[in-house]
Amino acid sequence: MFIVKSIILWIIISTIINAYLMTLPMPVLRKRDYPANYLIQQNNRIDFQKNTECAAFSTAYLLRYFGMEASGEALYTYFPSKTRAGTVYPKGIRTVLRKKGFKTNYYKGNINTLKYEVSKGVPVIVFIKVQKDRNSLHFVPVVGYDKEYFYLSESLSNLVNCDDEHKNYNRKVPINEFKKLWNVKRFHMLLYSNSYIAVDITQSKY
Which of 3-7, 28-32, 34-38, 187-191 is predicted most confidently? 34-38
Burial of 83 (0-12, 13-18, 19+ CB in 10 A): exposed
Q: What are the structural domains of the chain?
A: 25-199 (3.90.70.10)
* Chain CA centroid to CA 9, Å: 29
Could you read off the pLDDT of 176-192 as tens digits, one per residue?
A: 999 999 998 764 456 78
Residue 136 has pLDDT above 80, yes or no: yes
